[in-house]
Copies of this chain bind each other. A is one copy, B any other.
Amino acid sequence: MKETVEEQQDFVKDITKMSDDFDRWYTDVVRKAELADWSGVRGMMVVRPYGWAMWEAITRAFDDMIKESGHENWAFPLLIPRSYLMKEAEHVEGFAPEVAWVTRAGGDMEELEEPLAVRPTSETIIGALIKRYIQSHRDLPKLTNQWNSVVRWEMRSRLFLRSREFWWQEGHTFHASGQEAMEEAQLILGYYRSIAEDWLAVPVLSGKKTPAETFPGAVYTLTVEGLMRDGLALQMGTSHYFGQNFARAYDISFSNKANERELCYSTSWGISTRLVGAIVMAHGDDSGLLVPPKVAPVQVVVVPIFRDDASRIKVEGFIDGWGRELKAAGIRHRVDWRDERPGDKYAHWELKGVPLRLNVGARDVDAGQVELVDRLSRERRAVPVAGIAARLQAELAAFQTKLFERAQKYQRDNTFELSTLDEVIAHFRERSGFVWAPWCDDAECEARIKTETGGVTIRTIDSDEKASGKCLVCGKPAEHRVALAKAY
């Protein structure tokens, strides 16, 4: 996590203000906080260590969750024959426009008999392969997952949110009953909610997507949706129930307890490196990032302050003393000995969103204390070094909670209840956020919302229960309460 000279100088320069231009602010923060850059290969990004470490923290958390409930990691091929991809009609239609094709290989770049897709998602190859491993109901459920990257030939691009390659996990599960598969999709949705709320400190709405927003080939799609600081919603994870659609297309069947062949019921679900973008957009401010402690690559940064070699040695010995305690307590910390002025270091670590900073000068050594500054309040507090590891752990836990509560308040303050399309149009002309409204379930009404508001969509359906009131568009009795928002 070293910085180049060029970037070190950048740190003291202002980044674009969030209120001036949210998009430029976002790109500035992602690049200057060293999360990621465009790679030079069009639409493809390079994720730098500080960004990748956040993704690693997410992967560990989620991998633990799914393993605890019996899921297993596999590795399925990167390249998928065209014929596999073409079997599920809706799925093809959804993904074919975004596929990158391997058509040649070897020394003479010889043309392949059949083009191979660089996987945009793996339903088709897993569908084709998994049936070998499923004969009887005793072989079910098959709970597979894999961590990899996928390629989708996107035309628009935005670091972490939309790029031609992104990193994710994709779970694919196969069950003996629809009920069990639906419960699986719901279980995973709960995990995604936990990743968003408990780990990333981003409160989410969760529920079903409308048919128009459902994954190609799925019976229904469940989603968790967070609210970013520009008032736009971000889909942070989706979990799909396929019924027997994929099993039918790929002939994945089992002999049930009555010894009859039956098609499996399946699900798939994924979260991606887009979540790193969510951290930036849900918590950042004009000074840069704020990283939730649970996923922070650096939870505590120590900035030593000294005038001469003597005071440097004094400060260094002091830090070494309790630095070991922090390491033993598993606190991810770093001492910034770079040859920079303290003020520049403060700005640097604020930009990187490190939750806690400890300023340590020679006078602190004498007093047996450090100066603690947290990235949220920025207040300076003197803290004794006795018992510092436990103290910092408590501070980190409190920081995580405060960050979540702040995001909850933001979400609450930006969630509205409206009843008519006119109100909704007027609302989104002035502001953004989530708007709850009653809807009749009609796709035409849904389409009208999108056109007449210039892009507002139904992010999720509140629950399966019938709503009261009248459809915001047509005025007929409503079926469901839905959350509307502009979204990434």
Closest to A151 in B: B78
Residues in B with CB closer than 8 Å to A74 are: 46-49, 52
Convert A32-55 into 0s and 1s, putting 1 for each residue whose CB lies closer than 8 angstroms to a CB of B: 000001011100111111001100
Known: A4-B134, A151-B78. A107 touches B97 (CB 8 A): yes
A101–B104 contact, CB under 8 A? Answer: yes
CB of A77 closer than 8 Å to a CB of B? yes
CB of A139 closer than 8 Å to a CB of B? yes
**Interface stretch among A125-133, A196-204, A402-410?**
A125-133
Closest to A144 in B: B49
Neighbour of A72 across the interface among B1, B76, B99, B153, CB < 8 A: B1
Distance A307 CA – B3 CA, assembled complex (angstroms): 68
Known: A104-B115, A106-B99, A149-B78. A53 touches B39 (CB 8 A): no
Convert A278-316 into 0s and 1s, putting 1 for each residue whose CB lies closer than 8 angstroms to a CB of B: 000000000000000000000000000000000000000
A77–B136 contact, CB under 8 A? Answer: no
Closest to A141 in B: B2
B5–A125 contact, CB under 8 A? Answer: no
Residues in B with CB closer than 8 Å to A49 are: 72-74, 144
Convert A378-415 into 0s and 1s, putting 1 for each residue whose CB lies closer than 8 angstroms to a CB of B: 00000000000000000000000000000000000000
Residues in B with CB closer than 8 Å to A75 are: 46-47, 52, 149, 167, 273
Give chain A's interface secondary structure class: mixed
CB of A363 closer than 8 Å to a CB of B? no
Neighbour of A103 across the interface among B6, B44, B103, B149, CB < 8 A: B103
CB of A449 closer than 8 Å to a CB of B? no
Closest to A80 in B: B41
CB of A371 closer than 8 Å to a CB of B? no
B77–A41 contact, CB under 8 A? Answer: yes
Query: What would 8 A/B residue contacts be, using CB atoms closer than 8 Å?
Result: A3-B139, A5-B139, A44-B79, A46-B77, A77-B165, A78-B151, A79-B118, A101-B102
Q: A39-B76, A101-B102 are in contact. List 5 more A-B contacts (CB 8 A).
A: A4-B133, A78-B118, A97-B107, A100-B116, A109-B115
Chain A positions within 8 Å of B, measured between CB atoms, are: 1-6, 37, 39-41, 44-49, 52-53, 56, 72-81, 96-107, 109, 115-116, 118, 125, 128-129, 132-136, 138-139, 142, 144, 148-149, 151, 153, 164-165, 167, 273, 339
